[in-house]
Each structure stands twice: as C-alpha cells, then as structure tokens.
Chains A and B, each alone.
Chain A
Amino acid sequence: MDLDFSFVAEYWPTFLRGAWVTLELSFFGVALGTLLGVLFALMRISRWWPVKFLASAYIEVIRGTPMLVQIFIIHYGLTGFGINLPPFISGVVALTINSSAYMAEVFRAGIEAIDKGQTEAARSLGLSRGMTLRYIVLPQAFRNMLPAIGNEFIIIIKDSSLISVIGIAELMYNARTVQSITFSPMEPLLVACALYFAMTFTLSRLLAVLERKLRS
C-alpha cells in the first residue's frame, strides 16, 4: 500500500488545533494533578488513620479502574445526578484525578526515600513538621522524583487521547475527523502519532536538561 500524505496540505490547521487542545488538556491535568497528588501523598503519610485511609482508598480506586470508564462516568454518568460538565472540564477532571492518584504514589515513595536522619536533624533544630517537609524533605525528594514525574507527564499527554470519546476536538478526535473526510485509514493516524511524539519527546528532553541542572 502506498502512503499518501497530500491531505496534510489542506488539513494541517486541524491537526495543529487538535494538538493545541491536547496540550491544554495535558497542562491542566498535570498542574492540578500534581497539586492534588502532593496533597494525597501528605495525607497518606499522615498520623491520623481516617485521613490516611481516605487517601489510600482514593489512590487504590482510581488506579484500579479504567480511565475510559472514569471519563464516561464523569461526563455522562454524573448527569444522572444533575451534574452537567462541559466536555473540556470533564476531560480536565478525568485527567486530574487520574494523574493525582499516580502522582501521589510517586511523591510518597520520593518522600519516604529521604533518609530519616534528615528529618531528625531538622526537628532537633526545632523546625516543625511542616517546615521540615517544606525546606528539607520535599526539595530533596523532588530532585529524586523528577524522572518519575516526567514519566507521568508523558503518560498524561498520551492518555489525553482517550478524552476524544466525549467529543472534545483534541488531536485524536481531529485525526479521526480527517480520517473520515479523506477516507484514508492510516495516514491521519500517523500524523497524529508524529505530533504526539513531538510533544512527548520535547518534554522528555526538557526534563533531562532540568535534571542535569538540578544535579550540578
């Protein structure tokens, strides 16, 4: 079979618009997911068991159920309870709760990997638990976690393609639109792949630079 990419000349704005929406979705998913992730990680290492239990339960349930189902529940399921979210918001919410669950585990592991002596030294100086986390543990943990965080970011960009099922014109959705207009089964998907790869590869290179900066 010969590949024919001549449609790109006409439809490249569609792809770029889709890629932009993908970036928007991913940006909010990453930013909000990271914030919530830190919160759930801190809850999970809390001294109070109800808080700990709540965070653990959330993380296990979100990680243990398919994102596709979560997207449908948020966008369609919740309408039964009178909650009608615009598609874009539904997409952001789905990405956020997903990334927060995975991110929480990354943060927890990162925090627990810091030598106990660091906390003891900080506490022995009179620093509170909160200050110790903020000034001593989290900055060191963050450095160690950077590769895992980068991995999460990349997964979110790719997973955002699932959001196309609720009709948001992101990259995957637009690729399928072009597919149906041009009747070419393969080429629009390859273009989408190339754009996804351009985004994830750029991100992973940027993170590698940041990592090197933090190490020196």
Chain B
Amino acid sequence: MIVVNGLRKSYGKLEILKGIDTEIRKGEVVVVIGPSGSGKSTFLRCLNRLEQPTSGEIRLNNSLITNKQSELNQIRQEMGMVFQHFNLFPHMSVLENLTLAPRKLKKLSNEKANARAMELLRVVGLEDKHDSYPDRLSGGQKQRVAIARALAMEPSVMLFDEPTSALDPEMVGEVLEVMKRLAQNGMTMVIVTHEMGFAREVGDRLLFMDGGCIVEEGIPLHVFQNPQHPRTKDFLAKVL
C-alpha cells in the first residue's frame, strides 16, 4: 500500500532521516518506536508530506506521491492523521470538527455528513458530546474526537503521531482502546508511540528507529523478547 524508498530529510545541514526503506501493507498495523530525536515523527510526517522529503520516493497504491504538488490534497484525503496535541478546531463544535472536511471536499450534504459523523462518534463513544466545544472535553475525549475526525474522510491508512503522549495516564487506556478496535476492523495503521505494551499487543510489525535509520524491524513480540541490534537492546532495557 505504501512503499518507501531511500527517504531522506534534512533541515539545513542536520540530517534527520538518513535513508528509510520500508513497506506498509494493506491492513497492517506498523508501530514505530525509538528514542526521541530518532526521526520517527519526521518519518510519519513525510508520509503525508506535512514535511517535504529532501530525497527518496514514497508510493501510495503504486503511484509516486513524492513529486506531486497538484494532487497533494487528494493524496492527503487517503491518509488520516492523529496528532500528539489533538489539534481540534476550537471554534467549532465536535460535530463541525468532524463534518467540515467531508462537506467541503467530498461535497456531502449536511444531513449525510452529520449522520456519518454521529455514527463515528458512536464508534469512539462520544455521541453525547456532538454539541460540545473542544475546550469542554478531557484530553482522552479530545483525542477520540480527533480520531473520529480523521476517519470521517474515510482514509485508507491512518497515521498516529504519539497519540497518547500528551494525555494524563488515566486517559491513555480509552484512546488505545479505540485504536485497538480500529486495528481489529482491518484499518491500515502507522503508529509512532511510546506505549510498549500496546505496540506488542496490537502491532503486526515493529520498526525500531535510531539516528534517522530503521535499525531493526520484526514482529513486536520477537523484537521485545529477543532484540538483535545492540541499540535496540539498549533502548528496550531502558523503557521496559
């Protein structure tokens, strides 16, 4: 579904990504872990071109997306993204947060967009909050709305950039629960996370990144139990 070849990203002289090669298959849940500054968020943000790659190729469903400027908005509709800091639109109600993009981009009627949004709010367990504004929600609720907002565009892949890092500990569970259900329903997902338990349980494949490279990858359970690379061992020893 997504194929990445020789992906590099530099800011001036600082090279953040030093050649990433990987493939994300349909229905696969890929978790990306690694120390901070290892380039995992940058990697994720290159996939939907929130960051412009310096070089390398990214293909989505066999079409090269790294050099297309005109179809960028089209491509992004295929890739939902969930941010660490939620980034809900504070001047809009929960329902409006969910319906803005479908109404403007897919030209859905208000009734259709609202019905679809209510359905998604039911999925994340927040249908009673449809009239609330984001500042009335807890962190966990905000992130669940953000997930629903991304799903409203019916993307074929979901990108998660540390979705639970800004949450109070007691709210992490409810967000992971929603993500787990999404994975079980066959959504293709790329998740940058520090939740090792979640990575082990839900991930089909784990990428360990360090210094702008994928140092090791494999089935999460295998990597956790039997890391091969010294840097993976070192990192896991610190976080597990």
* Cβ contact within 8 Å between B104 and A131: yes
* Cβ contact within 8 Å between A121 and B76: no
State the Cβ distance, A94 to closest chain B Cβ, in Å: 35
Question: For the complex, what is the distance from the CA of A35 to the CA of B21, rounded to whole Å?
Answer: 49
- A127 in contact with B89 given A117-B83, A120-B83, A121-B83 (CB within 8 Å): no
State the Cβ distance, A126 to closest chain B Cβ, in Å: 4
Please indicate the chain A residues that have their CB under 8 angstroms from the CB of B90 in the complex. Answer: 140
Please indicate the chain A residues that have their CB under 8 angstroms from the CB of B80 in the complex. Answer: 124-125
- A124 in contact with B76 given A131-B104, A135-B104 (CB within 8 Å): yes
Q: In the complex, which residue of chain B has the Cβ closest to the Cβ of A115?
A: B87
Please indicate the chain B residues that have their CB under 8 angstroms from the CB of A126 in the complex. Answer: 73-74, 76-77, 101, 105, 153
A-B pairs under 8 A by CB, number: 57
Please indicate the chain A residues that have their CB under 8 angstroms from the CB of B231 in the complex. Answer: none
- Encode contact with A along B73-109: 1 for CB under 8 Å, 0 otherwise: 1101101110101011111000000001100110000
Q: In the complex, which residue of chain A has the Cβ closest to the Cβ of B152?
A: A125
Q: In the complex, which residue of chain A has the Cβ closest to the Cβ of B76?
A: A126
Docked complex: A98-154 residues within 8 A CB-CB of B: 115, 117-118, 120-128, 131, 135-136, 139-140, 143
Please indicate the chain A residues that have their CB under 8 angstroms from the CB of B100 in the complex. Answer: 125, 127, 135
Contact residue among A115, A127, A135, A143 (Cβ-Cβ distance under 8 Å from B73): A127
Question: For the complex, what is the distance from the CA of A192 to the CA of B100, rounded to whole Å?
Answer: 50
- Encode contact with A along B218-233: 1 for CB under 8 Å, 0 otherwise: 0000000000000000
- A125 in contact with B77 given A117-B85, A120-B83, A135-B104 (CB within 8 Å): yes
Question: For the complex, what is the distance from the CA of A147 to the CA of B76, rounded to whole Å?
Answer: 36
Q: In the complex, which residue of chain A has the Cβ closest to the Cβ of B48?
A: A124
Determine the main DSSP class of B at the interface with A: mixed
- How many chain B residues sit at the interface, stated as a range, is 20 to 34
| Best-buried of A124, A131, A136 by chain B (most CB within 10 Å) | A124
* Cβ contact within 8 Å between B77 and A117: no
Question: For the complex, what is the distance from the CA of A127 to the CA of B150, rounded to whole Å?
Answer: 12
Question: For the complex, what is the distance from the CA of A127 to the CA of B83, rounded to whole Å?
Answer: 16
| Best-buried of B73, B77, B79, B85 by chain A (most CB within 10 Å) | B73
Q: In the complex, which residue of chain A has the Cβ closest to the Cβ of B85?
A: A117
Q: In the complex, which residue of chain A has the Cβ closest to the Cβ of B73?
A: A126
Please indicate the chain A residues that have their CB under 8 angstroms from the CB of B73 in the complex. Answer: 123, 126-128
Whether B240 sits at the interface, judged by CB under 8 Å, is no
Other A-B pairs, 6, CB within 8 Å; known A121-B83, A126-B74, A127-B73: A123-B76, A124-B81, A125-B76, A126-B76, A126-B77, A136-B89
Question: Could you give 16 example pairs across A and B, Cβ below 8 Å?
Answer: A115-B87, A117-B85, A117-B87, A120-B83, A121-B81, A122-B89, A126-B73, A126-B76, A126-B101, A126-B105, A127-B73, A127-B101, A127-B104, A128-B73, A135-B100, A136-B89
Q: Which residues of B contact A (CB under 8 A)?
A: 48, 50, 73-74, 76-77, 79-81, 83, 85, 87-91, 100-101, 104-105, 146, 149-150, 153
Closest 8 CB pairs of A and B: A121-B87, A126-B77, A124-B81, A117-B87, A125-B101, A126-B76, A126-B73, A139-B91
